[in-house]
């Protein structure tokens, strides 16, 4: 195993966003490509935002995608614990070291004072960030503030020099001296801030590469500065372009589903979602559209990650999902559809479900489509939808009864014979095949959309088919 160490560090406040899932996928693929170690770490220092349910949901979503880890909160490892809420002593030691080195200092500015200075800076056309007021306080001034009972935070003393992040995706990113103000490491209640915890954890866990969204790019020089002040070597950073919707705005709930859990519940295959996420901002080459996890790992290289935002297109994901649905054998596809059919209150006969798969696989963009396409097979209480009712109502008087009489003579009850019987009836009635079949489809399946009608009637069986025609 190489010395490459990568991590995914979610803050489990809800279901995992597909943008975060892509970051996890790229980080995982990078580690696996280099024969390195992939670590799952949980950023749960903000107790008010995280939940155990969300934490377990994140792990389940990663497992569903096929993203595994070598160290983490559930399996342990040599650098644990892997939950920030359990690493407080390590953060305290690091802060103590920074204070002793004068790389950090107590700040006694009140929220009201900070707001007043922010407004004054804006009015004067200056940057509105922290002005470093407490950085140069004398011991006497600090003692006075302690006696006054002022609460304090601990701030990091940012280096007063230009900083450069050599980003593996974006190239060199420059931050001018003074552009990054001294930031808070420890809140007034003693709890560590994200910027401290991330830096300490990356250093102590030996992270060599951090691959994450570009919304965290501004954190990179801060993270690196803290690690260097503590005597460590910062990891190499690679900041991925954000996912956007069709309007080129950051992907959010207003664009529809955005979580891995939601796409799972809507019947997308993990193979399809992984493939699609892999191609959002990365490509193996100019020709490859479909690739497995194994092929992704073998080919993954950060040099092929684009720095431009990637548009998330659900229609394209559906197209890719259909491709993967068609690649499943009938047994496997039936097994995957079973969950959605039972969730809809149906109790499918497994053999009948397997036999139905060749009829519906090309029509299914999502596994949930199986409910609409196959409900008629697994219930005797078929209700005609509005379109089906209208079509049955338009049929000539007694037409469905005549269809039933004609089909009684079909023997054996197989699709080819059913087709022949229907065609003969259509000719006698002077109807096109479409006009002859539409009322029958509506009466038998309750819908205007179904698998091919003769094959559907074969699966349904003679008795159930004739009963439905007679009922209508």
Count of other CB atoms within 10 angstroms of residue 87: 19
Distance (Å, rounded) from C-alpha 192 to C-alpha 233? 21
Q: Is the peptide bond before 250 cis (omega within 30 degrees of 0)?
A: no
Count of other CB atoms within 10 angstroms of residue 362: 10
Task: Find all residues with CB under 8 Å of 23, minimum gap 6, and list them.
Answer: 8, 211, 212, 213, 240
Paired tokens of 333: 């596809």
The CA-CA-CA angle for residues 217, 223, 225, to 5°, reads 120
The CA-based dihedral angle spanning residues 115, 187, 5, 81, taken in that order and rounded to the nearest 10 degrees: -160
Secondary structure (3-state) at 154: strand
Query: Is residue 427 a contact partner of residue 434, using CB atoms and an 8 Å limit?
Result: no
Distance (Å, rounded) from C-alpha 435 to C-alpha 419? 14
Taking the chain, what is the end-to-end CA distance rounded to the nearest angstrom?
Answer: 68
> How does DSSP assign 69-113, residue by residue?
-SBBTTTB-TT---BGGG-HHHHHHHHHHHHHTTSEEEE---HHH
- Options 152, 170, 253, 434, the catalytic residue: 253
Query: Is residue 358 a contact partner of residue 328, using CB atoms and an 8 Å limit?
Result: no
Which residues make beta-bridge pairs with 186? 154, 192
Query: Is residue 336 a contact partner of residue 367, using CB atoms and an 8 Å limit?
Result: yes
Distance (Å, rounded) from C-alpha 262 to C-alpha 18? 10
Q: 419 vs 278, 303, 362, 379, CA distance in Å?
A: 45, 57, 21, 24
**Quick check: is 253 catalytic?**
yes
What are the residue numbers of the active site? 253
């Amino acid at each position: 195993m190489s010395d490459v160490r990568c991590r995914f560090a979610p803050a489990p406040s809800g279901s995992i966003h597909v943008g975060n899932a892509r970051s996890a996928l790229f980080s995982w693929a990078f580690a696996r490509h280099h024969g390195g170690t992939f670590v799952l770490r949980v950023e749960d220092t903000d107790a008010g935002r995280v939940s155990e349910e969300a934490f377990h949901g994140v792990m389940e979503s990663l497992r569903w995608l096929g993203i595994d880890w070598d160290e983490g909160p559930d399996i342990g490892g040599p650098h644990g614990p892997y939950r920030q809420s359990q690493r407080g002593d390590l953060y305290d030691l690091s802060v103590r070291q920074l204070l002793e080195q004068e790389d950090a200092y107590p700040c006694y500015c009140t929220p009201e004072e900070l707001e007043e200075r922010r407004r004054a800076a804006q009015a004067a056309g200056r940057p509105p960030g922290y002005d470093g007021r407490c950085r140069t306080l004398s011991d006497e001034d600090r003692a006075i503030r302690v006696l006054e009972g002022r609460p304090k935070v601990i701030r990091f003393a940012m280096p007063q020099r230009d900083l450069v992040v050599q980003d593996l995706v974006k190239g060199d990113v420059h931050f001018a001296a003074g552009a990054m103000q001294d930031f808070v490491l420890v809140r007034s209640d003693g709890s560590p801030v994200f910027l401290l915890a991330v830096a300490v954890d990356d250093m102590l866990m030996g992270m060599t590469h951090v691959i994450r969204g570009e919304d965290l790019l501004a954190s990179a020089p801060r993270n690196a500065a803290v690690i260097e002040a503590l005597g460590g070597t910062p990891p190499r950073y690679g900041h991925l372009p954000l996912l956007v919707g069709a309007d080129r705005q950051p992907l959010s709930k207003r664009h529809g589903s955005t979580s891995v859990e939601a796409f799972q519940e809507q019947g997308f295959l993990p193979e399809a979602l992984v493939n699609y996420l892999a191609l959002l901002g990365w490509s193996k080459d100019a020709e490859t559209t479909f690739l497995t996890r194994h092929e992704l790992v073998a080919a993954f290289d950060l040099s092929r990650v684009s720095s431009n935002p990637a548009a998330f297109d659900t229609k394209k994901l559906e197209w890719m999902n259909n491709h993967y649905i068609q690649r499943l054998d009938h047994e496997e596809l039936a097994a995957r559809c079973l969950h959605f059919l039972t969730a809809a209150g149906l109790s499918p006969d497994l053999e009948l479900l397997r036999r139905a798969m060749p009829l519906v696989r090309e029509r299914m963009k999502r596994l949930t489509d199986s409910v609409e396409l196959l409900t008629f097979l697994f219930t005797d209480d078929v209700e005609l939808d509005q379109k089906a009712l209208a079509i049955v109502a338009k049929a000539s008087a007694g037409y469905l009864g005549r269809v039933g009489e004609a089909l009684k003579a079909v023997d054996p009850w197989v699709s080819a014979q059913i087709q022949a019987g229907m065609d003969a009836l259509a000719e006698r009635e002077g109807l096109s095949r479409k006009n002859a079949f539409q009322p029958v489809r509506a009466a038998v399946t309750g819908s205007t959309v179904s698998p091919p009608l003769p094959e559907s009637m074969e699966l349904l069986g003679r008795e159930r088919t004739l009963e439905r025609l007679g009922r209508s």
